[in-house]
Structures are given as structure tokens and as C-alpha cells.
Amino acid sequence: MTIELFSAMAKSVIEGDCQNSASLARAALLGGVPAAEAIEKGFIPGIREVGELWEAGEYFLPELIASAEAMKSALAILRPALSQGGPVLKEGTIVIGTVEGDIHDIGKNLVAAMLSANGFEVIDLGADVKLPAFIEAAEKAGADIICLSALLTTTMLNQRKLVELLVERGLRNRYKVLVGGAPASPKWAAEIAADGYGENAAAAVRAARALMGKG
Amino acid sequence: MTTLTILPSKRRIETEDGRLLGDCLVAEGVDLNLYCGRRGICGKCFVEIVSGDVPPPEERERVLLEAKNLDSSRFRLACRFRLNGDLTVRIPGPALVSKTRILSTGEGRTVALDPAVRKIAVRPERPGLNSPHSFVEGLKTALGRPDLRISPDTLFSSAAVLSRPSSASGAVTAILGDEDELLGLEPGDTESRLFGLALDLGTTTLVADLVDLADGSVVGTAVGLNGQASFGADVVSRITAAFQDPAQAVLLKEAVIASINALIAEIRRKAGVAAEDIYETVIAGNTAMSHLFLGLPVDGLAVAPFAGLFSVAPPLPAGRTGLDVNPAGRVYLSPNLQSFVGGDICAGAVATGLAFRPGKVLFLDLGTNGELVLKTDHGLQAASTAAGPAFEGTSISCGLAAREGAVEKASLRDDGTIIVETIGAGPAEGVCGTGLIDLIAVFLRRGDLARDGRILVPGKKLPFGGGLALSAADIREFQLAAAAVKTGIRALLASEHLSAGDLDEILVAGAFGARLNIVHAEEIGLLPRLSGNRVKFVGNTSLEGARALLLSRRERLAAEQLVREVRHLPLAQNAAFQQTFIESLAFEPWPARDFAAPGKQEEK
């Protein structure tokens, strides 16, 4: 019975069905399934598979967004139940934004949605974000990772500047820095001494999990 | 009251004695060729006086009549003739301004020849003991231009021609720029040798037309590649190369100048025209290209809010640009409308006469940036979307620019096989933008490709012959490019509370292939569907517009007016942008009534 419920949960996320994922989450709580178990055995496997389908070229942006939304609906119902004594689902806290001088933010929004769907707490600062604002938000939230998007080769330079700013402020070891965006690459991430690189939303989730030691 | 009868139209008008015949004719809409500016110098506006009083010719007129073998009892210069009593005139063909057709494809329009540079042959009176005027004063008198402006450079370069002993004819040819400026002086009568160059300065491709400014005809065309490619394929990578590095900006300038000069050399060789005979050049390129052509910094274009240095550049002495044309000539840049809606789009608007077309018209140029201009009764509004280089083939695994060997057309046979046609009809080496649109339509029809972009055949490849195939990544890349364009169209329509069905016309420009299959573009949802051939492919309007700007000063004024008129629609700040973009990714035909219905947009 529970196994069927779990696979239905995964399916609702894979199909990007918000209503179904929400009612399955409610059904789990009513049926006495622990929220943590519903998330970890039901919904998370679904969103993982979505990541795989994306990387296989089967899923594209619309499917990815629908799945992230379905995940969000389920988590909105299950999260409050978690905090009542049980283990807290939190992969980590991430501050994310598109760097100063750059106004492109669709890619960043997708990464934020997928990180959030995969259990991260995500603080999205938007686009054209001044570099000190990333650090201030990270300090305030006690974040683990700062995630920087840039879509232009010119604004990409601000990813390097943020790493330098962290060093300058003596905070380099407190945060992991994850970079992405069309012009970025693993080589670029290494060059600027960032901690990770995500080529797309699914890869960013993998990289973030790896940075949290949960690869 | 004087009656003027105009032949061959037989139109009669009532006018006043004492008026200039030329002015009356122009006021009546006759395209009279007033080349020398009503000074009675060029002899182009001779009309035949069929009946009425014919006063004796002026001295200069007499010389011109003789030179042109015209009957001195009947022909007079309209620009010098003052009405005195009823008159019947016949306007011969040569007295009319030549008109040139702009746009080889789509709806062409004609442009009346009125170039900024003109040549006028005169015979200045030689200084004599009784009238020891200077050579320059003699020239000014002969040209009928007491206020002729002469720069120091021109004085030096013209000194030898001015002062040398009179040739047999005594003729010299003055090259006049806008506002009565002397650009140069040539010995003898060289009026018939005056050429201009129109250039489409693309990020990838350069196309040039060499134009005979005597009649507006194109005497040669050449196509080449932009040598800046070694600094990066797309505009952003060029901007990046020059960003905060003036020395690099100079290298980029040198690269493109070398490419243009190679093109000029080729076109001159084919047409047999000397570099010195090219006095006017018009260049239409995007904002970054026009800045880099001048070697100006592009730092403002590199980061938000993306500002160029100039919209309208002053016409430059050609000698300062490094182009292999007459250094005394001028180079005019098609004005940039906004940061990423550049001179190429302005030229497109000029070529299509966008501002003057009736109804609601959408103009779009499909390139690395999908640039859009919507003309309605409320004026013009432009937007730019980052489509990426898919239409130009750069980001496609088997993509090519629209050059020889590129598949530019594909269709499906009844037996399900795909037929491709390449530019130059040789073997297929890759696919250009128009071919890509065709192929996607064909694969959709055949059921190999789902509307959401998934490849449905085993192996996840879409072969189209010659060992070439589209990959899943290619399809995704194209979806992103098409969605960017569709989102821009939707945002523009929404801002005017319009649906696609409200449009009277859609004009599609682009240098990504010669033949865009409109039906295919509609089938894959790239373009809205309008009934009855109202979606038109108008080709390389950047080049055609550059030619219009070369031929006519009036077109330049119209272009500069666009800079003031065209409003900018920012897309990235639009709250609905992402939602619209995601919805636009599928290969679905444009909805009959889209979600641009009034009241559903503009949430800020």
C-alpha cells in the first residue's frame, strides 16, 4: 500500500501534476505516513528521475518547471509536519542570484526551482544583484552555498569578483561558491577557484548535493 | 494668373508670373532632377518649351545646350526659367530623378535618387590680368556657390587641379558633399564616374553593393566573412574581447576593416571601378558592429543597462576609417535605434518603409538577436530578444552560415523521404537558418519529432541525408531561439493590446538564407499565421536599407527621425516574460487569439 503510494508520489512529480502531488501529500499525512518518509521515499525519487529525464533530453524547460511546481506543492504540505519533532528536511541553505550587470534570469530561476524541489532552502535575490548583497544575505541566513548565475562573458567576471570579495572579507571558507550560466564552464570555475559548476538545473542540484557532502 | 500645361501628362495648373518653373513643377509632384540645387550648373533639368515665350538662354545655359546637343530655341533649364505668360512644357525623361527599386524580394519600394555626394563639371573662368581673382573664387563662381566650404585638406589636395594650365576643355569636376562642402576636385569632366558603396556589416557575414550614383544601379555585389570571427563567433564575445581593453578594440577594428577592404577589392575588380571613384559609403550594422568599425569602446554595451556611445554618428571622412575608397569621401553609418536595436534594423525599417506602411505591421529580423519593431497607429515600438546563434547556424551541430553548401530548403515527398536543396546546388555540408526551419517542419510532419521537442525515433537523431543529422541538443537550441523571438512578438503585441490576428502584415528579414518557407515557419509556430500572403520574407533588408541611405538624403532624414520616434520595450523586466517564454517553447502553431488580450498583461 505504502509502496504504491510512494510510486504514485514519484509519478505525480514526474508528470508535473500539482493537484495530484498535493493530494497525495495530504493522503500520506492522514494515513499516518511520516512526512519525512513521504518526502524521501515518495517525492524525492520523482524529482531525481525528472533530473535524469532532463539530462537524457526527454524533458525540457516546461516539463522541468511543472515538476518543480508539483514538488513545491507537496513540500508545502509536508514541511510543516516535519518541524513537529521529526527530522528536518534540509539539504542545505543556498543564496542564489544573477550577478551585477546581468539581467537574464530564466536559467537562474530554473536552478532555484530545482534546488528547492530537491529539498534545499533557497533564497533567491533576483537579477542584477550587487556582489556585497550576496554575502549579506548569506550571512543573515547562515547559508551553506552561494550560487551565482551569469549569462554574458562580460558579467561572468563578477563571479570571480565575488570569490575575491569573500577572500577579502575573510569569509571564503564559510561558503561554498557554485557558478553557472551559458559562458561558464568547469574550467572557468577552477580558474576563479569556485567550489563547483552546474551546466544546467539538474547538474546544479548534483553539484550542490556534492558540496554538502551528499553526492 | 498664368496657366502652365505639363506634358506628357497634360496636367494644367494655375500659377503666378515670376515663379520659377522648376519650383512649380516640383510643387506639382514632378520628380524634377535639381541635381546642382537650382544653380543652372548641371544641365539636368532641361525641359522643352512647347508653346509660350522663350527668352534667350543665359551664357552658361547656352554652353550646356551646346554640350548636350539640344535645340536652343526650345529647351530651357527649369531651375532658371521664370514664368512670364501661359506656358506649355514637355518634361523629357532625362529631366526626372532616376528611381531605384529597393528590396529584391517582398514588397519593393522605389527611392528617388538624391545622394549626399554629387559631381558637377564646370569650366571656371581663368584668372586674367583684368580679373586676377584666385582660382578658388573662380571655382565658386562657376559652381554658383559663393559660400562653398573648403577644408584645409581639400585646399591642399585640389591645389594642383585648380592652378594647372587649362586643359583643352578647361573643365574640372567638383565633388560636392552635403551642405555645399567641396570634397575634391578632378581634372576634366568626370561626372559619369561617381560610385557609392552600401555595406551590410553583419557579425558573421558582410555583403556589399557597389552602386553607380548616376542612376542608382548596382554594378557589383560581393559577399565575405567578418574577420572579427577570430575574436569570437557572436556579438557578445566581440564585445567581451574589446571590453575594458582599447588595444583589443583597435585590433577588432583592423580585422573588420581588412575584411571590408578585401570585399571592396573584389567588387572593384569585377566592376572595373577605381577606389578613387567611390566617394560615399553607407554601413548598416548592429550597434556593437558600428562601434567596433570605428574602433570606439563598447564597454557600455557589455553590462546592463547596455548603452552605446552614439545613435547617429556624424558622417566621417573616409580617410579616417581606413577603407580603400576615396579618402575625401564620406562614410555614413545607419543610425542605431537603441542599444541592441541597431543600424541594421534601422536600415530594415527604411528599406521596407515601415513607418509609412498602412495598418499594424510587425517587422522582425532573425539573427543572433531577434529584433522586432511593431508599427501601429500609435507609432513604433522595438524590442530585442537574445535568440542565440541558432538561426545563423553557429550553435547547431551541423549548422552553417547561409553560404555555399548549406541546406537552405527542405521538403517532404509523398513517400516520406526528405528532399534538400543547397545553396550552390552542390553536396550538403550543413544547414543554415532557413533549412533548419524547413527540416523541423518536415520532421514534425513525419512524426519523428514531438511538438514538445522530443525526438521520437530510435537513436535520438534526425538524419536528413549526406550523413548529416540534427541532434536532440540542436532541437533544444532551436526551441530556445524560436521561443525568444515568439516571446518578443507576444510582449510587443501585448503592450499594444493586440493579438497576432490583428496584424495587417508581418515582414520577416534576415540574412540566414535566401528562401524562408513561410508555411513551414507558421507550422512550427515561429511566426503567427495570417491569411492571404500577408507574412512576407523580405530578405537582407540591412543591405537594401543601406542602399536606400546611400541613394537618398531624404531616407537619411527618415532614418534619423526613427531614432527619435521608436519607443523601447524592455523585455527582461517584464513580469510575464518567463511564463511566456516557457509557453512558447513548444512547436505549436500560433494560437488564433493569444493571451495578449487586453488587461491580461503589464503586471509589474
What fold characterizes domain A93-211? Answer: Rossmann fold (3.40.50)
Average of per-residue pLDDT across A51-77: 90
Q: Which residues of B touch A109 (CB under 8 A)?
A: 578
In this predicted structure, what is the pLDDT of residue B163?
83
In chain B, which residues have their Cβ closer than 8 Å to the Cβ of A154? 236, 239-240, 243, 302-303
Give A25-33 contacts, CB < 8 A, sequence gap 24+.
A25/A73, A25/A74, A25/A75, A25/A77, A25/A78, A26/A77, A28/A78, A29/A77, A29/A78, A29/A81, A31/A5, A33/A2, A33/A5
Q: Encode pLDDT of B71-118 as tens digits.
A: 999 999 999 999 999 999 999 988 888 777 766 555 667 888 999 999
Answer yes or no: do A57 and B237 touch at CB < 8 A.
Answer: no
Collect all residues with Cβ–Cβ distance below 8 Å to B425 and sequence separation of at least 6: none
What is the pLDDT averaged over residues B534-562?
Answer: 93
Q: Which of A61, A101, A109 is facing B304, going by the closest CB pair?
A: A101
**pLDDT exceeds cutoff 90 at B567:** yes
> Residues of A with CB below 8 A from B242's CB?
none
Residue B473 to residue A57, Cβ atoms within 8 A: yes
CB contact under 8 A, A102 and B585: no
pLDDT exceeding 70 applies to what percent of chain B?
A: 95
Which residues of B touch chain A, with CB atoms under 8 Å apart? 236-237, 239-240, 243, 302-304, 386, 452-455, 460, 472-473, 476, 479, 572-573, 577-578, 581-583, 585-586
Question: Which among A57, A63, A154 is the nearest to B239, CB-wise?
Answer: A154
pLDDT in the model for residue B452 = 93
Q: Which is it for the CA torsion B284, B288, B291, B294, positive or negative?
A: negative
pLDDT band at B407 (very low <50, low <70, confident <90, very high): very high
**Would the CB atoms of A102 and B573 count as touching at under 8 Å?**
no
Picking from A148-152, B345-349, B397-401, which range would have the lowest pLDDT averaged per residue?
A: B397-401
pLDDT of residue B103: 63
pLDDT digits (tens, 9 = 90+) for B185-194: 999 989 989 9
Pairing of strands B99-102, B109-112: antiparallel
Q: Do A154 and B581 touch (CB under 8 A)?
A: no
User: How many residues in total does chain B contain?
Assistant: 604
Helices (H), B446-574: 472-495, 518-523, 541-551, 553-565
Each residue's pLDDT tens digit, B467-505: 899 999 899 989 999 999 999 999 999 999 999 999 999
Confidence (pTM): 0.83
Higher pLDDT pick, B122 / B166? B122
Sorting pLDDT into bands at 50, 70 and 90, what band is A89?
low
In the stretch 154-193 of chain A, residues with CB closer than 8 A to chain B read 154-155
Convert the pLDDT of each residue in A127-142 to its tens digit.
999 999 999 999 999 9
Tell me the average pLDDT across B382-405: 82
Question: What are A91-119's pLDDT values in tens digits?
Answer: 899 999 999 988 878 889 889 989 998 88
Pairing outcome for strands B418-422 and B406-412: antiparallel
Q: How confident is the model at residue B366 (pLDDT cuts 50, 70, 90)?
A: confident
Where are the CATH 3.30.420.480 domain residues in chain B?
A: 195-343
Instruction: Say what the ipTM of the complex is.
Output: 0.77
Q: Residue range B318-342: average pLDDT?
A: 93
| Chain B CB within 8 Å of residue A53 CB | no
The pLDDT, as a whole number, for residue A97 is: 96
- Mean per-residue pLDDT for B1-14? 89
- Comparing B112 with A161, the larger pLDDT belongs to A161
Over the stretch A28-39, which tens digit does the pLDDT of each residue have?
999 989 888 899
Query: What fold characterizes domain B2-95?
Result: Ubiquitin-like (UB roll) (3.10.20)
Q: State residue B229's pLDDT score.
A: 84
CATH number attached to the domain at B195-343: 3.30.420.480
- Specify the pLDDT at position B602: 41
- For residue A46, is pLDDT > 50? yes
Q: Is the pLDDT of residue B367 over 90?
A: no
Lowest mean pLDDT among B44-53, B74-83, B364-373, B582-591: B364-373
Whether A8 has its CB under 8 Å from any CB of chain B: the answer is no
| Facing B304 at nearest CB: one of A62, A63, A103 | A103
pLDDT for residue B516: 86
Q: What is the pLDDT of residue A83?
A: 62
CA distance B140 to B125: 10
User: DSSP letters of B13-65?
Assistant: EEE-TTSBHHHHHHHTT--B--TTSSSS-S---EEEEEES--PPPPHHHHHHH
A-B contacts (CB, under 8 Å): 58
Contact assignment for A154 to B476 by CB distance below 8 Å: no
Residues of each domain in chain B carrying CATH 3.10.20.30 = 2-95
B169 pLDDT exceeds 80? no
| pLDDT greater at residue B163 or residue A30 | A30
pLDDT in the model for residue B512: 72
CATH of A2-82, one of 2.40.10.350, 3.30.70.250, 3.20.20.140, 1.10.1240.10: 1.10.1240.10
pLDDT the model gives residue B604: 33
- Region B400-424: mean pLDDT is 89
Calculate how close chain B gets to A161, using CA atoms only, in Å. 15
Q: Do A57 and B582 touch (CB under 8 A)?
A: no
Domain residue limits, chain A: 2-82, 93-211
| Mean pLDDT, range A44-53, rounded to an integer | 92
Percentage of chain B lying above the pLDDT 90 cut: 58
Helix (H/G/I), strand (E/B), else coil: B503: coil
d(CA A158, CA B579): 27
DSSP conformation class of B133: -
Which of B236, B239, B303 has the highest number of chain A CBs within 10 A, making it the mutation to test binding with A? B303
- The mean pLDDT of B199-228, rounded to a whole number, is 91
**pLDDT beyond 60 at B600:** no
- 10 Å CB burial of residue B573 (0-12, 13-18, 19+) is exposed
* pLDDT of B595 above 60: no
pLDDT digits (tens, 9 = 90+) for B518-545: 999 999 999 999 988 899 989 889 999 9
User: Looking at CA atoms only, how far is residue B527 from chain A in angstroms?
Assistant: 20
Average pLDDT over residues B533-561: 93
Tell me: pLDDT of B13 over 60: yes
Fold classified for B118-187:
Ubiquitin-like (UB roll) (3.10.20)
- Report strand pairing: B218-225 vs B316-317: unpaired
Residue B457 has pLDDT above 80, yes or no: yes
